């Protein structure tokens, strides 16, 4: 498992060790750098550049007491097992999965969408972090502060029995809406000739309305119960994936039409 380490200048404390260099890792390392927190990186993506042998995890993360597993959910347990087998049994492991628990690791899920573009450093400080609360972590807020004493982020406990529901909500609210907006902008540009810039006020206002009052943000024919208009919508979407989405939307919004 040859890898190449990366780091930032030491600020007087032990560096954090990142495993993985995907979006979350890049954003979180950017955040740590803005706070002056040292870190090291071990990543498969950079293994054997230019044909040269890589560096082992034991070498790259040797001085990191806290290992941050910024990898896919399914890779968390195997990667942790590999690191332990390579001599990291005395390290503290932290994972970023919001929907699952992993024995021997502390979960800290940042509730945020991380794009390919890095954000302004100050933005990261307000990202809420939901942390594991279970038998192994009975005082998760205090544990988070001990592991990350210089992170000012708001922190909230997340019980094991609530994780799947919490993460499903995050996936629907963030990921699924991203898919809907993708299709919306694509159709508006290709079918109706409306450029993306001319449409920006619409999603912005919807989000602002949701933040101001989520119960009163729903507008349109479904909110009013305009059955004939809704029937026309369903006919127009018939046979497409969005048709099924629209029917589920009607069912989910039913209470607001009562």
CA atoms within 13 A on the CB side of 51: 0
Describe the strand order of the beta sheet including 66-69 as a list of residue ranges. Answer: 4-7, 39-43, 16-19, 66-69, 92-95, 105-110, 129-133, 155-159
pTM of the model: 0.82
Whether residue 94 contacts residue 106, with contact meaning beta carbons closer than 8 Å, is answered with: yes
Give the pLDDT of residue 257.
46
The DSSP 8-state label assigned to residue 3 in this structure reads B
Q: Supply the pLDDT for residue 223.
A: 87
Q: What phi, psi does 237 have (nearest 5°)?
A: -100, 0
Q: Phi/psi at 139 (nearest 5 deg)?
A: -125, 70
Provide the pLDDT for residue 117. 93
Q: What percentage of the chain's residues is helix, strand, coil (to nearest 5)? A: 50, 15, 35
Mean pLDDT for each 10-residue chunk of the chain (258 residues)? 41 83 95 97 68 71 95 94 91 95 95 93 97 95 97 96 93 90 93 92 91 84 89 92 91 64
* CA distance linking residue 112 with residue 44, whole number of Å: 25
Domains of the chain are 4-159 (3.40.50.720), 166-257 (1.10.1040)
- The residue with tokens 């079918």 is 191
Is the distance from CB of 70 to CB of 28 less than 8 angstroms? yes
Question: Distance between CA 59 and CA 4 in Å, rounded?
Answer: 9
Q: Is 19 helix (H, G, I), strand (E, B) or coil?
A: strand
Pairing between strand 66-69 and 155-159?
A: unpaired
The position carrying tokens 């979180």 is: 28
The pLDDT score that the predictor gives to residue 57 is 81
**Strand partners of residue 133:** 159
DSSP state of 44: G
Residue 254's pLDDT is what?
73
Residue-level pLDDT at 48: 53
The C-alpha atoms of residue 243 and residue 19 are separated, in whole angstroms, by 41
Task: Return the structure tokens found at 150.
Answer: 């210089």
Is the Cβ–Cβ distance between 43 and 20 less than 8 Å? yes
Task: State how far the Cα of 42 lies from the Cα of 59, in Å rounded to an integer.
Answer: 9
pLDDT at position 43 is 84
């Amino acid at each position: 498992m040859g890898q190449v380490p990366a780091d930032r200048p030491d600020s007087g404390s032990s560096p954090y060790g990142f495993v993985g260099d995907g979006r979350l890792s890049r954003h979180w390392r950017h955040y740590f750098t803005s706070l002056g927190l040292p870190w090291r990186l071990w990543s498969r993506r950079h293994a054997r550049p230019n044909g040269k042998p890589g560096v082992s995890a034991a070498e790259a993360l040797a001085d990191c007491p806290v290992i941050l597993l910024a990898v896919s959910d399914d890779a968390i347990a195997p990667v942790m097992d590999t690191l332990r087998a390579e001599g990291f049994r005395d390290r503290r492991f932290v994972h970023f999965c919001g929907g699952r628990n992993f024995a021997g690791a502390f979960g800290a899920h940042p509730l945020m969408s991380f794009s390919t573009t890095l954000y302004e450093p100050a933005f990261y400080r307000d990202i809420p972090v939901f942390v594991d609360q279970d038998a192994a972590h009975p005082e998760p807020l205090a544990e988070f502060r001990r592991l990350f004493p210089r992170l000012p982020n708001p922190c909230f406990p997340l019980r094991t029995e609530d994780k799947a529901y919490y993460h499903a909500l995050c996936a629907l609210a963030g990921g699924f809406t991203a898919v809907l907006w993708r299709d919306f902008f694509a159709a508006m540009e290709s079918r109706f000739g409306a450029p993306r810039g001319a449409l920006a006020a619409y999603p912005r206002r919807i989000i602002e309305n949701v933040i101001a009052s989520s119960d009163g943000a729903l507008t349109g024919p479904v909110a009013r119960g305009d059955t004939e208009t809704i029937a026309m919508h369903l006919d127009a979407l018939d046979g497409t994936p969005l048709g099924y989405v629209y029917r589920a939307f009607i069912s989910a919004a039913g209470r607001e039409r009562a």
